[in-house]
Amino acid sequence: MLQHLLEVAIEGILIGGIYALFTLGLNMIYGVLEIINFAHGEFIMLGMYIAFWLFTLTGLHPLLSLAIVFPLLFFAGAAFERVTIEKVIKAHIFIQTVLTFGLLLLLQNLAYFFWSADYRAIRLNFPLISLGSLHISTPRLIGFIGSVVTIIILHFFLTRTKMGTGIRAVDENPIAAELVGINVKKMRMVTFGIGTGLAGVAGVFISLYYYIYPTVGSIFILLAFIIVVLGGMGSFVGSLAGGLIIGELESLSALFVGPQWKEVVAMVVFILILLFKPTGIFGTGGRK
């Protein structure tokens, strides 16, 4: 029993790392643009489908498809931000919400139209990793390592590059950033592109072990919102901590309560955080 519990706990950490990756994208978008992207889960779905079709039609390994997925979804997200979101950036939050929710419905229905509602999966024969008496899922381990590497690259970009510094400046104070010569519109566009690109990368990792279908993004956007509330809106560290906590809670609740209850447990945590600490563990407040 102890061995199985340890395996489940490790699996929770591995899954939590992937959750943290796509939540970081959502949190970056909120922090810089002050807008909640309800279509974020659909970019995860697109990443999964792109990896699937590249593997099915060309035999390209899903991990190699990352070189296509990230740039493609980055430019798609950046273009969407420049053409639509930038026009309503100062509008009422209701208008912003309707816009991103409309994108959610559009992407879902396009997926239904082109790929039907069939469940698909990438069939790869991964060997089971054994560490003594412990057995670890290889696809989840690959996804976790890939997510950690991606997060480290993102952190380096945000802290060691001129554009990353500009993004952080806009996150802190867009008015002051504009006064010192930073192109705020460009930073918003790049941030939205990075956020959607990260969602696509997470989608590729998830596709290694999860079924692919048009509404799969709805599951992950719900989890992302729970993690964001748990960790704190706009908090980099909060996304990491929240992802690991929710991943662990899901795995342990599936073991002790039942797999069908893991989403319920996550929602209970979501409600409790809203009641007792609505700013999250590392959050400082609402919209700036």
User: Is the residue at 25 inside a domain?
Assistant: yes
Residue 286 has pLDDT above 80, yes or no: no
At residue 239 the predicted structure's pLDDT band, cuts being 50, 70 and 90, is confident
Tell me the per-residue pLDDT of 130-189, one tens digit each, with 9 for 90 and over: 776 778 889 999 999 999 999 999 999 999 999 999 999 999 999 999 999 999 999 999
Strand, helix or coil for residue 39: coil
User: CA-CA distances (angstroms) from residue 84 to 103, 192, 207, 211, 237?
Assistant: 10, 12, 29, 31, 30
User: Is the residue at 203 inside a domain?
Assistant: yes
* DSSP 8-state code for residue 173: -
On whether the CB atoms of residues 141 and 80 are closer than 8 A, the answer is: no
Confidence at residue 287, expressed as pLDDT on a 0 to 100 scale: 47
Domain count, the chain: 1
φ, ψ of residue 272 to 5 degrees: the values are -65, -40
Tell me the per-residue pLDDT of 128-144, one tens digit each, with 9 for 90 and over: 787 767 788 899 999 99
* Percent of the chain residues past pLDDT 90, beyond the cut: 61
Confidence at residue 49, expressed as pLDDT on a 0 to 100 scale: 97
Confidence at residue 1, expressed as pLDDT on a 0 to 100 scale: 66
Confidence at residue 252, expressed as pLDDT on a 0 to 100 scale: 86
Confidence at residue 253, expressed as pLDDT on a 0 to 100 scale: 86
User: Is the residue at 252 inside a domain?
Assistant: yes
* Percent of the chain residues past pLDDT 70, beyond the cut: 97
Confidence at residue 284, expressed as pLDDT on a 0 to 100 scale: 58
pTM of the model: 0.92
CA neighbor of 202 nearest in space, from 166, 184, 227: 227
Lowest-pLDDT range, 154-158, 240-244, 251-255?
A: 251-255
User: Domain range holding 60?
Assistant: 2-115+134-276
User: Is the residue at 121 inside a domain?
Assistant: no
Instruction: Answer with the residue of higher pLDDT: 151 or 1.
Output: 151
On whether the CB atoms of residues 44 and 206 are closer than 8 A, the answer is: yes
Rounded to whole angstroms, how far apart are CA atoms 163 and 185? 12
User: CA-CA distances (angstroms) from residue 198 to 47, 107, 130, 176, 283?
Assistant: 9, 17, 30, 28, 22
CATH number of the domain enclosing 87: 1.10.3470
User: Is the residue at 281 inside a domain?
Assistant: no
Question: In the predicted model, what is the mean pLDDT of residues 258-266?
Answer: 79
User: Is the residue at 286 inside a domain?
Assistant: no
Confidence at residue 279, expressed as pLDDT on a 0 to 100 scale: 78
Instruction: Answer with the residue of higher pLDDT: 266 or 168.
Output: 168
At residue 126 the predicted structure's pLDDT band, cuts being 50, 70 and 90, is confident
Confidence at residue 6, expressed as pLDDT on a 0 to 100 scale: 85
Question: In the predicted model, what is the mean pLDDT of residues 193-212?
Answer: 96
User: Is the residue at 258 inside a domain?
Assistant: yes
Mean of per-residue pLDDT scores for the chain: 90
Is 275 exposed, middle or buried, given 0-12, 13-18 or 19+ CB atoms closer than 10 A? exposed
Is 131 exposed, middle or buried, given 0-12, 13-18 or 19+ CB atoms closer than 10 A? exposed
User: Is the residue at 11 inside a domain?
Assistant: yes
